[in-house]
A and B are shown apart, each in its own frame.
Chain A
Amino acid sequence: MADVTTPNLAQAEETISEKGASIATPRQLMWWKFKKHRIAMFSAIILILFYVIALFADFIAPTNPEKFNASTKFVPPQTISFINAEDKFSLRPGVYGLIEERDPETLRRSFKIDKTIWHPIYFIVHGDSYKFWGLWESDIHLFGLDKASGGVLFLLGSDRLGRDMLSRVIHGGKISLSIGLLSVFLSLILGIVLGGLSGYYGGAVDNIIQRVIEFIRSIPSLPLWMALSAALPPGWPQTLRYFGITIILSILGWTGLGRQVRGRFLSLRNEDFVLAARLSGARDFRVIIQHMVPSFMSHIIASLTLSIPGIILAETSLSFLGLGLRQPVISWGVLLQEAQNIRTVALAPWLMLPGLAVVITVLAFNFLGDGLRDAADPFGR
């Protein structure tokens, strides 16, 4: 059989090169396959957008997330309108003014739209000053109202201190989105090292590591996360706390990855190319890093992507409970903490909107991971 097919194959390759066509590399095949997965492509675009927004949060957020104003507490989300105060259509979007009202009986404050005042929204506008990436001062924002107009812009409403929710959600993304990446990176290191040891050497090492993984997976993670983060010293500065939480999340989160890596190692251990590398005198470390890891990296990236949502959800849950990050740090979980009280939620349901950001991010990561998993195996059906 082999004698018959080989020349055919050689012939085929010859005809291809004669026609000037090139042979696709595995990377190209993966990219083509990934492109076919529409939802995954869409999710990738959304996620890139989210990360860009988080990266330029200072510039994109219309106001300083900490700027409070007692007279604008619990303003409901404003709608953008293209009809200005003179009832004429304007190409420039704007928001109407607000009148504060007080119910004479319950004394509850509420805001009514005042259609006689219309504040246009300008793009690239001077607003609150900030230090861009901690490097230079600036007060340019992507969009916002004219400072002199005296109007307010709360596209996602305002919280109990009159702070702009949109700006806070944008700034919260910095923490919530980065903690997922950082934690997954740590899990990856743990997973590759421990899973690799387990799968490459087998025997007693494998047994011990497998028992550890089984143990971690058999206990409920949320109570353990809660207990460990409660044990972080309360006097720690926020950055240290951030890293502490990240480490706790990855210590408990590497197990799934470790299993995957082990499985790959087990199946690759007896492959010819690994044997060849070993026979040519490569040391274990080199065999693992140079020969084995690249051959399953695409699978690992796919399962990494699939494990980010769990970490984002865990951080959000911990912060929501008050055990994770704390004020004045802004993360989506910290923001949701404000929505813990049902009476507050009934009064200001828009405080739950940071949850929507969490859901969209998690969904997008799940779809993206699904697409990557399919693409990781470009020869599959």
Chain B
Amino acid sequence: MFVFIVRRVLNAIVTIFVISIVSFIIIQLPPGDFLTSYAASLKAQGDTIAPQQLDALREAYGLGQPVHIQYLKWVGKMLRGDFGQSLEWQLPVNKLIWSRLMLTILVSASSILFVWAVAIPIGVFSATNQYSFGDYIATFLGFIGLAIPNFMLALVLMWVGFSVFGQDVGGLFSPEYQSAPWSWGKFTNLLGHLWIPMLVVGTSGTAGLIRTMRANMLDEINQPYVETARAKGLSENRLTWKYPVRVALNPFVSTAGYALPELIGGVVITAVVLNLPTIGPILLRALLSQDMFLAGAIVMLLSILTVIGTLLSDIVLALIDPRIRLD
């Protein structure tokens, strides 16, 4: 088990290293270095920046140096928790994104719980009642959930909330709690708002996992050990949940790792539509205004988040399935 975890962690570190290169490329992609675009945007606003100041900034970011030195500087700063400066906001990047990152994790984690809580029972039901009316309904709903883009569902929910209940369902907090310090009231207020993004992000993820769960269960349900348990007189309900479900969950957990990247992407776009104080809207704004330090840092953090999530799901998988850790 220890060897397994060490190997997985090493794997994750390599992945994170490659991610850092990709993020750095993203920062470098727009033509010209970012100070040129910074100076241009200042000029557009009627401001000017002294050439000396520009040179000093260039020096500070090491922009005159070869690319690999720039990369090392960027990574080195990041390891010390300094993600650079957002040009648009004139703030250090980490100040801008920490609280948003926490809320992003919260929304993602609750969406995962939602997906599991819905997909597992429905998948099991679909398999044990294969080709029944309920199975068809579940399959059909699953397909619909897969076909509706996240932002569409968010839009429709907002429209319904607006035209039927006459209120804005966006955001994560009511206006009075928006900038208030954390309190019990703020927390319950958050829970009251959380279910909409949870539902929106969860629907598309659920569809795929219902199908996975159903297929896994169908593979297990005709195995001899199930028959044995049934012959011993176990009630059908206990039998299902005690034996085949536990085995069927294994591939499920491993696909959950693959579902995570999609889920995080879903959180980003849903947050833009619902105007959540998470990382999505700020990423979009950064990209639209070519604030590349901010954008690169966000892509990097979101990817690291995903890698960690996948790592955790791998470890959970190894815990429940000895075959994997002995491999």
Is B18 positioned at the interface, with any CB of A under 8 Å from its CB? Answer: yes
For A323, what are the chain B residues with a Cβ–Cβ distance below 8 Å?
284, 287-288
Complex contact A309–B149 (CB within 8 A) = no
Complex contact A362–B290 (CB within 8 A) = no
36-53 of chain B: CB within 8 A of chain A: none
B72 to A: closest C-beta gap in Å: 21
Complex contact B273–A340 (CB within 8 A) = yes
Beta-carbon nearest neighbor of A339 in chain B: B155
Tell me what chain B mostly uses at the interface: helix, strand, loop, or mixed.
Answer: helix
Complex contact A226–B284 (CB within 8 A) = yes
Measured in the bound complex, the distance between the Cα atoms of B274 and A72 in whole Å is: 30
For A220, what are the chain B residues with a Cβ–Cβ distance below 8 Å?
260-262, 264-265, 268, 302-303, 306
Complex contact B295–A230 (CB within 8 A) = yes
Complex contact A321–B159 (CB within 8 A) = no
Is A263 positioned at the interface, with any CB of B under 8 Å from its CB? Answer: no
Complex contact A221–B162 (CB within 8 A) = no
Q: Using a Cβ cutoff of 8 Å, how many contacts connect chains A and B? A: 127
Is A223 positioned at the interface, with any CB of B under 8 Å from its CB? Answer: yes
213-270 of chain A: CB within 8 A of chain B: 214-215, 217-224, 226-228, 230-231, 233
Partner of A317, one of B151, B155, B264, B290: B151
Partner of B269, one of A222, A346, A355, A366: A222
Is B163 positioned at the interface, with any CB of A under 8 Å from its CB? Answer: yes
B232 to A: closest C-beta gap in Å: 30
Complex contact B149–A355 (CB within 8 A) = yes
For B288, what are the chain A residues with a Cβ–Cβ distance below 8 Å?
230, 322-323
- Chain B residue total in the interface (Cβ 8 A): 50
338-364 of chain A: CB within 8 A of chain B: 339-340, 342, 345-346, 349, 352, 355, 358-359, 362-363
Is A313 positioned at the interface, with any CB of B under 8 Å from its CB? Answer: yes
Complex contact B258–A217 (CB within 8 A) = yes
Is B31 positioned at the interface, with any CB of A under 8 Å from its CB? Answer: yes
Chain B residues proximal to chain A, CB less than 8 Å: 15, 18-19, 22, 26, 29-31, 143-144, 146-152, 155-156, 158-159, 162-163, 168, 170, 258, 260-262, 264-266, 268-269, 272-273, 283-284, 287-288, 290, 295-296, 298-299, 302-303, 306-307, 310
List, sorted by A's number, 23 A–B pairs whose CB atoms are closer than 8 Å.
Answer: A218-B310, A220-B262, A223-B298, A223-B303, A227-B26, A227-B295, A233-B31, A309-B146, A317-B269, A320-B269, A321-B269, A321-B284, A322-B284, A336-B152, A340-B273, A342-B170, A345-B162, A346-B162, A346-B163, A352-B156, A358-B152, A363-B143, A366-B147
Chain A residues proximal to chain B, CB less than 8 Å: 214-215, 217-224, 226-228, 230-231, 233, 309, 313, 316-317, 320-323, 336, 339-340, 342, 345-346, 349, 352, 355, 358-359, 362-363, 366-367
